[in-house]
Structure 1
Amino acid sequence: MYNAALRHVAERTARNVELFRDQFPHIGENSSYRLFPNTTWTNGFWTGLLWLCHKYTGDRLFAEQAQRLLPSFEERLAAGTNIDHDVGFLFILSAKAQWLEQGDEGARALALRAADALADRWRPEGGYIQAWGDKQDAVNGGRIIMDCLLNLPLLYWAAEETGDTRYSAIAEKHAEKSRRFLIRGDDSSYHTFLFDPATGYPIGGTTHQGLHNGSTWSRGQSWGVYGFALSYRYTKQAPFLDTAIRMANHFIGQLPEDGVAYWDFSADHGSEVPRDSSATAICLCGLLEIMEHLDEQSEDYRLLSDAAARMMGALVRISTMHEPEAQGLLKHGAYHVGANNVPDGYLIFGDYYYAEALMRFGRMSGSYW
């Protein structure tokens, strides 16, 4: 099953290279992706998918296309176009991946400059990385966001590459701040949390894409599962792994029978309620990361392994393997349900994490984080 699914990923992605050319897929419906220049937060997932396909097939088509797109990332960083906490999503899966796959020194240097841009968002007054806006932003000056946890590996890696522990210190402190304030007592989570920008005093948890401030947006929960697991990979701080496991168990406990998460765990359940396959795919990658750090004989490993197999099977079943006209790989992604912005369609990050999970299930290294 997994080999057939991976072949579908590679074949569909090869066709999309010819269709997309110098544009980037972002979100889409009705068999097609919406294409953008290198301006959105998701652009790195396309290059990451290209590198995964190159790793799987050895076909130079994928590497050449990823390399062809890298100058647009360099131009974007130089211009400061939409550079915020998502800089890790952009440059881990483009510049860092190219360095890892090709030993390209220019790509390494670009990834390190991107790490500087992320470190520049550190706010010592509050001890966190600011998610959006500039430091003077009246609304967002004190905001952290769960998604940022998947960007921290850029800082951990930069510390390893340069020997400058400032990068890893920022990442670890931000992860701990997120652990303390984004995770609730029942292991559910806030999407974002606000602090007083001047003093760092905590104000309260909020949401940007969830149902309401007190709900649990499933994709936010999945960012936490994978993000804390990755912080454990780099720091070996036990609370990060424990938090990842507890969040994973909460996510698994909220899954419907078919294994594809509802877009928000507090949303009404039923056939008309949007699902979010990307949340399931991200969480699945998180489970696979956690399992690498557990004793295979442990109860935690057994429970997570069973859930991972169930979730992988669910994603393969809702893939577009038997829909030859579809540009996306994975159906039923929910981008922003509250804004009615692709509540049921394709998401390039869902496609990426689906491919990463398949690579890991196939015992091939599939992580650039």
Structure 2
Amino acid sequence: MYKPAIEEALKKIEANITHFNSEFPHTSEDKKYVLNPNTNWTNGFWVGLLWQAYEVSQESVFKNAAQLYTRLMEERLTENRGLDTHDIGFLYTPSVVAEWQIKEKPESKDFGIKAADRLMERYRENIGIIQAWGPLGDPTQGGRIIIDCLMNMPLLFWASEKTGKDNYKNAAIAFIDKARRYLIRGDDSSYHTFYFNQETGQPEKGATQQGYADGSTWTRGQAWAIYGFALAYRYTGDKNYLETSLRTAKFFVDHLPEHFVAYWDFDAPVDDTIKPDSSASAIAACGFHELLDLLDGSSEYDWIKEALNKTMDALISDYTTEEDSQGLIDHGSYSVREGKSPDSYTIWGDYFYFEALLRLEHNLRGYWYESKKDSN
């Protein structure tokens, strides 16, 4: 059913290998990706796209490119360039960890563990958080967490499994518990970020960086919650995480417009100027599929299957790009609030859209956990 969309995506990914010429895409301007020399938080998604393209096609053009870009990610880690962030999981799970899962290359496993060690430097054990942004102990950012970071926790769980060390897993659980308690509101919506007193750990306030308002629900953040809590349940078996994923999924679905692709914020005024965020819906689609894989298949969860199918139908019919385009899907938003790429291609949107296609057609489920566990 999804083969034509996959084939179309593969053609674009292959063409982009030449277009990008060893640089990394982020978001687009004038329908062309803006490239960077491996300095952005999103660079792992391009590498992950290449590994996924290789997995589904087994073509050397994708494998060669994926290996080249993975080496660049390893160099960045060795040189510690642009890694003062919580986004280590976004950078290294779809790159070095992906290569380990596909090729079982020992060096890739080692780099994955080194990346997890780098992420652990963000862990503030005294208050049980992983600091989102800024230097450790920064006066304004030192006690701040972000909902996106739920998707970085699989790197810590993976490292714990590979090393047999509980410190990675314990840090991930501490953060996820904090996120569940303070980022998810009583009505199952979510804050984008939350502040704690970095000395005492006392909760201070919820806020936003990219949403419409501090008390609104930024749709990409809600999508991170759906997928991130589902993965947390996958790793831990804690039913509280599964329940939270289901609750945030139900909120997401209940607040979708009729065309089933989310606007950038569920509380932003709906008028002729409102921007969609196709990337939020692509992420949510992966989360929906993950939930269906975890649940018992009863009719009680048919609403998830319906949401998944309608979301993918809408993305394919209304958001896929022209044949010679660099992006796979259009009308994603980076940060409407800040005026950063409010309506563009987004490399993370492309990644999760392609992951959703491969999940549905081939049951290839990305690199956020290993379906085949090794014995170290």
SS at match of 2:294: coil
Matched position secondary structure for 1:292:
helix
**Higher mean displacement: 96-105 or 264-273:** 264-273
Runs in 1 of length 4+ with deviation above 2 angstroms?
318-321
- CA distance in 2 between partners of 1:52 and 1:78 (Å): 25
Offset of residue 338 of structure 1:
1.4
Deviation at 1:364, TM superposition (A): 2.8
For residue 212 of structure 1, report the CA deviation from its aligned partner: 0.8
TM-score under structure 2 length normalisation: 0.96
* Number of the residue aligned with 1:285: 286
| Structure 2 CA distance for aligned equivalents of residues 108 and 78 of structure 1 | 14
Residue 317 of structure 1 and its aligned partner are, at CA, apart by 1.4
Map 1:201-350 → 2, pairs under 5 A: 201-299=202-300, 301-321=301-321, 323-350=322-349
In structure 1, the residue matched to 2:135 is: 134
- Aligned residue for 2:262, secondary structure, equals coil
Q: Deviations over 1:190-225 (max 9, x none)?
A: 000000111111101000000110001000110011
Whole-angstrom distance in 1 between the partners of 2:26 and 2:152: 18
Does the aligned pair in 2 maintain the 1:52–1:366 contact within 8 Å? no
> Partners of 1:79 and 1:206 in 2: how far apart?
33
**Separation of aligned partners in 1, 2:25 and 2:314:** 24
Q: SS of the counterpart of 2:26?
A: strand
Residue pairs, 1:88-99, within 5 angstroms: 88-99=89-100
Amino acid at match of 2:5: A
Q: Which residue does the alignment assign to 1:109?
A: 110
Where structure 2 has 5 or more consecutive residues not aligned to the other structure, the ranges are 369-376
Match of 1:144 in 2: 145
Match in the other structure for 1:66: 66
Per the alignment, in what secondary structure is the counterpart of residue 33 of structure 1?
strand
2-structure distance, mates of 1:248, 1:230: 13
Counterpart residue number, 1:163: 164
- What letter matches 2:344 in structure 1? G
Count of residues in correspondence between the two structures: 367
**Corresponding residue number in structure 1 for 2:353:** 354
Distance 2:298 2:198 in 1: 46
Distance 2:15 2:352 in 1: 19
- 2-side partners of 1:111 and 1:188: how far apart? 33
Q: Which residue of 1 aligns with 2:43?
A: 43
Aligned position for 1:184: 185
Contact 1:336 1:343 in 2 (8 A): yes
Distance between the aligned counterparts of 2:197 and 2:299, measured in 1? Answer: 42
The DSSP-based 3-state class of the residue aligned with 1:198 is: coil
CA drift at 1:175: 0.5
Q: What is the deviation of 1:231?
A: 0.3
> Once the 2 structures are TM-superposed, how far is the Cα of residue 37 of structure 1 from its aligned partner?
0.9
Residue 327 of structure 1, CA deviation:
0.6
| Alpha-carbon displacement from aligned partner over 1:33-66 (angstroms, at most 9, x marks no partner) | 0011111000000000001111111111111111
**Is the 8 Å Cα contact of residues 181 and 193 (structure 1) preserved in structure 2?**
yes
Query: How big is the shift at 1:149?
Result: 0.3
C-alpha displacement of 1:72: 1.8
Deviations 1:121-159 (A, max 9, x none): 110121111111122211110000000000000000011
What is the one-letter code of the residue matched to 1:325?
A: D
* 1:319 CA drift (Å): 3.6
TM-aligned CA deviation for residue 20 of structure 1: 0.6
Partner residue, 2:374:
none
Q: Distance in 2 between matches of 1:364 and 1:253?
A: 26
Structure 2: which amino acid aligns with 1:360? R
Offset at residue 292 of structure 1 (A): 0.9
Cα offset, 1:31, TM superposition: 2.1
How far did 1:73 drift?
A: 1.4
2:339 is paired with a residue whose SS is: coil
| Aligned residue number for residue 18 of structure 2 | 18
SS at match of 2:195: strand
| Residue identity opposite 1:28 in structure 2 | S
The CA distance in 2 between the partners of 1:58 and 1:165, in whole Å, is: 36
Query: Is the 1:263–1:334 Cα contact (8 Å) retained in structure 2?
Result: yes
SS at match of 1:246: helix
Residue 151 of structure 1 aligns to a residue whose secondary structure is: helix
Q: For the residues of structure 1 that align with 2:222 and 2:272, how far apart are their CA atoms? A: 22
Q: Which amino acid aligns with 2:156?
A: L
Asked whether the 8 Å contact 1:86–1:151 carries over to 2, the reply is: yes
Q: Is the partner of 2:362 in helix, strand or coil?
A: coil
Q: TM-score, normalised by structure 1?
A: 0.98
CA contact (8 A) 2:125 2:171 kept: no
- The AA in structure 2 aligned to 1:243 is T
Identity %: 46
Whole-angstrom CA distance in 2 between matches of 1:324 and 1:281: 20
Match of 2:119 in 1: 118
Give the gaps of 5 or more residues in structure 1: none
Give 1:340 shift.
1.4
Question: What is the identity, as a one-letter code, of the residue corresponding to 2:184?
Answer: I
Query: Could you report, residue by residue, the CA deviation over 1:222-249 in whole angstroms, capped at 9, with x for unpaired residues?
Result: 0011000000000000000000000000
Partner of 1:33: 33
**Quick one: distance in 1 between partners of 2:272 and 2:360?**
29
SS in 2 for 1:362: helix
Task: Tell which deviates more after alignment, 25-34 or 346-355.
Answer: 25-34
